[in-house]
Structures are given as C-alpha cells and as structure tokens.
C-alpha cells in the first residue's frame, strides 16, 4: 500500500501535505517517506526470516545518508560501488562488515580503504581485479573476503541499458570461466573465497530469469565443491522490479519464496542487493508549473523540474506517473507534454498526460525515490533539488538545495 495518498483532495506523504512542503521548501523538491523505506526493507528481511541472510540495500539507487541511516537502524547491510558510497554508509552509521563492494572498476585506493574499515565481502568482477585485490590486501597484511560476480548469460527481459547478465555485458566473469578463476583465487594469499555473486539486471518484472540464473549458479557451486572449494553464501544481487504504471512484478515475499523453494535443502546464507524495490516507491519528485504553452497540435506544460533533476524519462524513455498535488482544479483537462527548462529536446518528465492544471500548480512525479536525485546533474548550471524525509506528520530537510554560488565554487579564471 502506498504512503502517498490524497487526503481531502490533497496529496500527502504519510500525514504530511506535499503542497505545504512545496510552499515551505520550494520546488523542485524530492520527498521521501521513512515508513515506506522501512516497510520495503522489512518485506525482504521478514520474508527471509530465520534463513541466514543479509539484505544489502543498493546505495546507488538512493544514497542520501538519512535514507541509509533509517535502513542501518533496521540492521540493513549495503551494496556499494565506490569509495564515495562507502564513506556515505560509514557517515550514516552503517556496519562495514555488512557491506558488499561491487563494481567493475574498483581502484587500488578504494580497495585499501575498504580493507581498512573491514567491508564484509568484495564482489570481484574480473581476473585482473582478483589479482590486484590479493596484492593490495597482502601489502596491508590483510586477507579480503571475496565472491566472484559471475555472468550467467541469462536474458533479464528488461531495458537493454539496465540488463547486466548477458555475456555481451561488461559485468561479471563468464560463468564458464568461473571455475578456473576460483581455482586461481584459491592459490592467492590475499583473498579468501566466501561466496558466489550474480546480478542480472534491474526492473525485472518476471522472476523466471532470477531462477534461471540461480540454477546456473548452483551448477557452478556443485562444480566448485567437486574442486574442493566450499561456498558460504550466495549473493543474488538486486533487480526486482516495481510498479511504475501497470507492471505486476513479484513481491519480495513471492520472490524469496521461489528462491527458497529452488534451493531446497541447500541452506547457504543468502545476500540480496535490492535498490529500486526498496527506494522507488518511497519517494516523489515535486515540480511546479511555470508556463502553459498551448498549441493546436500539442500543449506543453513547462515545469521547473528537468532532466538534470530526474533523467530516467530522457535516458530510458521511462514512464513515471504524474499527479497534481491538489486534486481539485477549475482548469480544463488538456493533454500535455511536461517539459523542463533545459535546452534539450529530450528534456521531458512525461508525455501525452491528461491533466487539469494551471500556472503555479505543483505536480508530483511518482516512484522517484530510486535513481532520481542520485542521477541528478548540474547541466545548464542548475542547482540540484533539496531532499526531504517525512516521518508521520514531521518533515526534515535531509539535503539542502544547492546554492548557485556553490555551483562554480572551486573554479577559477586564468591569471593576468
């Protein structure tokens, strides 16, 4: 059930009116719900129940430290892909031993920091990275826990830009080659094999690709056992989809039940790295209508939010629902393209939407808690939006709006 509901015609996040947040903090504005983050995390954690597990929230989907802190308080682990994300997790009070470090291009300096703070596991994505990690760990007198991220070559049936488990994708180690790379790992002094990892893509609405990937991973685990290599955990990545429009993805409960069933008697510790399924429907993006530009063939609502704030529609032609925060309007219903002020034809947040809107109205772009603010840029020298976390009838600024002068801080002109 969504925490973003109309109450007396006014859209709320929990018990807080979005119109009042827009009035107080200005637009564009990201608004998150603590209750939604907690409920979505618990859906995984509770479905796993007594099964040994760790749910590692994928920090890339929403890295605000207030979000990470809310989840850390529930015992969440974190999936990170950079030192920057690691520092955020630490700043938010996350437990380093519950961190898995993913990513195809980890730098030696990032490995050093991760080893110093004691991250739980490195998900190694190539043989070259494995060798480097062993060297870095040995030079520090440490041993890094590792799993190899294998690429099982299954079609995740999602947008090609967010599919990662095909052998043409840059991610992971070809599952056919994995036994040899594990054999190499077993000889290296700076690493300890603890798991197998796989992540096949994002916004999966069907669970069969996950199960296909699991079958292939289990075949690998058997092969490794025959080689004398025992695995403690399986990391099945993230990727479970959400409803943006009419998609009907499996719930975390259904997904986990299917995985448990497929595992049968094999009681490996399970790690999951969900991002979108925890964060997407825990946030909205508020934007105000600046101008209406009416034409015979097409109407534009020019809004103050743009592709620099929320790039998913421009990048993937993604569809996100757009609702007026005040349901009642005397304006006529017209069909609009909702476009931002950025000088790009691709700068739109929605197309062909039937809305009763007037200048000054505030709109909520729904499902904006994942891959929203984190992908924002300063293109066209636009400051990034503020972020608010709602908790019941209270609202907290968890990131201030960027000031214009901060946008060219650190730049300088040539002398003379």
Ligand X SMILES: Cc1ncc(COP(=O)(O)O)c(C=O)c1O
Ligand Y SMILES: N[C@@H](CCCC[NH3+])C(=O)O
Q: Which residues are annotated as a binding site for pyridoxal 5'-phosphate?
A: 239, 273-276, 371
User: Cβ contacts of residue 29 below 8 Å, gap of 6+?
Assistant: 21, 22, 285, 286, 385, 386, 387, 388
Alpha carbons 191 and 331: distance in angstroms, whole number: 65
Distances (CA, A) of 195 to 79, 120, 200, 288, 374: 15, 11, 17, 48, 29
Alpha carbons 247 and 297: distance in angstroms, whole number: 30
Contact status, residue 279 vs residue 315, Cβ threshold 8 Å: no
Min CB(84)–ligand X separation in Å: 15
Q: Nearer Cβ to ligand X, position 65 or 80?
A: 80
Q: Nearer Cβ to ligand X, position 28 or 237?
A: 237
Min CB(399)–ligand Y separation in Å: 19
Q: Nearer Cβ to ligand Y, position 17 or 202?
A: 202
User: Cβ contacts of residue 401 below 8 Å, gap of 6+?
Assistant: 25, 26, 383, 384, 385, 386
Size of the site for ligand X (CB under 6 A): 15
**Residue 312 binds what, of ligand X, ligand Y, none (CB under 5 to 8 Å, by partner type)?**
ligand Y
Q: Which of residues 259-278 bind ligand X (CB under 6 A)?
A: 273-277
Min CB(5)–ligand Y separation in Å: 25
Contact status, residue 99 vs residue 83, Cβ threshold 8 Å: no
User: Cβ contacts of residue 269 below 8 Å, gap of 6+?
Assistant: 52, 53, 54, 232, 233, 234
Q: Is 134 in the site for ligand X (CB under 6 A)?
A: no
Catalytic residue flag (residue 343): yes
Min CB(153)–ligand Y separation in Å: 17
Site string for ligand X, 30-59 (x = CB under 6 A): ----------------------------x-
**Residue 151 binds what, of ligand X, ligand Y, none (CB under 5 to 8 Å, by partner type)?**
none
Q: Nearer Cβ to ligand Y, position 301 or 376?
A: 376
CB neighbourhood size of 82 (10 A): 18
**Residue 209 binds what, of ligand Y, ligand X, none (CB under 5 to 8 Å, by partner type)?**
none
Tokens for 180?
A: 């040899």
Could you list the residues that contact ligand Y (CB under 6 A)? 60, 162, 202-203, 312, 371
Q: Which residues belong to the annotated binding site?
A: 239, 273-276, 312, 316, 344, 371
Q: Which residues belong to the annotated binding site for substrate?
A: 276, 312, 316, 344, 371
Min CB(86)–ligand X separation in Å: 15
**Residue 413 DSSP one-character state:** P
Report the residue closest to ligand Y, judged by CB. Answer: 371
CB neighbourhood size of 131 (10 A): 16
Q: Which of residues 195-234 bind ligand X (CB under 6 A)?
A: 199, 202
Q: What are phi and psi of 124, to 5 degrees?
A: -85, 135
Distances (CA, A) of 212 to 155, 203, 391: 9, 16, 39
Q: Is 165 in the site for ligand X (CB under 6 A)?
A: no
Min CB(122)–ligand X separation in Å: 12
Q: Nearer Cβ to ligand Y, position 80 or 115?
A: 80
Catalytic residues: 343
Residues near ligand X (CB under 6 A) are 58, 61, 79, 102, 164, 199, 202, 237-239, 273-277
């Amino acid at each position: 059930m969504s925490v973003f509901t109309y109450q007396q015609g006014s859209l709320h996040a929990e018990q807080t009116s979005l119109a009042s947040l827009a009035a107080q903090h200005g637009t564009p504005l990201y608004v998150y719900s603590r209750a939604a983050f907690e409920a979505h995390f618990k859906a995984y954690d509770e479905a796993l129940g007594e099964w040994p597990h760790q749910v590692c929230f994928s920090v890339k989907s929403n890295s605000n430290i207030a979000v990470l802190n809310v989840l850390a308080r529930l015992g969440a682990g974190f999936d990170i892909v950079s030192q920057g994300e690691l520092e955020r997790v630490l700043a938010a009070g996350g437990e380093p031993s519950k961190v898995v470090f993913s990513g195809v291009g980890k730098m030696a300096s990032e490995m050093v920091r991760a080893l110093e703070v004691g991250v739980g596991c490195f998900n190694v994505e190539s043989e070259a990275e494995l060798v480097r990690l062993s060297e870095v760990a040995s030079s520090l007198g440490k041993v890094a826990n590792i799993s190899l991220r294998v690429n099982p070559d299954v079609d995740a049936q999602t947008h090609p830009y967010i599919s990662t488990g095909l052998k043409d994708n840059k991610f992971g180690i070809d599952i056919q080659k994995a036994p040899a790379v594990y054999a190499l790992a077993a000889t290296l002094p700076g690493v300890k094999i603890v798991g197998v990892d796989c992540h096949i893509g994002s916004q999966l609405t069907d669970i069969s690709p996950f199960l296909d990937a699991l079958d292939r991973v289990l075949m690998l685990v058997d092969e490794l056992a025959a080689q004398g290599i025992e695995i403690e955990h399986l990391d099945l990545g993230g990727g479970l989809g959400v409803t943006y429009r009419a998609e009907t993805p499996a719930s975390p409960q259904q997904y986990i039940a299917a995985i448990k069933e497929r595992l049968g008697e094999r009681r490996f510790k399970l790690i999951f790295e969900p991002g979108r399924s925890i964060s997407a429907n825990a946030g909205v993006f508020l934007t105000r209508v600046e101008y209406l530009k009416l034409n015979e063939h097409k109407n534009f609502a020019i809004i103050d939010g743009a592709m620099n704030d929320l790039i998913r529609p421009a990048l993937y032609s993604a569809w996100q629902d757009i609702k007026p925060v005040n349901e009642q309007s005397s304006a006529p219903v017209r069909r609009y393209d909702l476009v931002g002020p950025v000088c790009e034809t691709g700068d739109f947040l929605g197309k062909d939407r039937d809305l009763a809107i007037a200048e000054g109205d505030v709109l909520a772009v729904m499902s904006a808690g994942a891959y929203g603010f984190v992908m924002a840029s300063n293109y066209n020298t636009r400051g990034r939006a503020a972020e608010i976390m709602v908790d019941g009838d209270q609202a907290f600024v968890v990131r201030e709006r960027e000031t214009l002068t901060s946008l060219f801080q650190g730049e300088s002109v040539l002398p003379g």
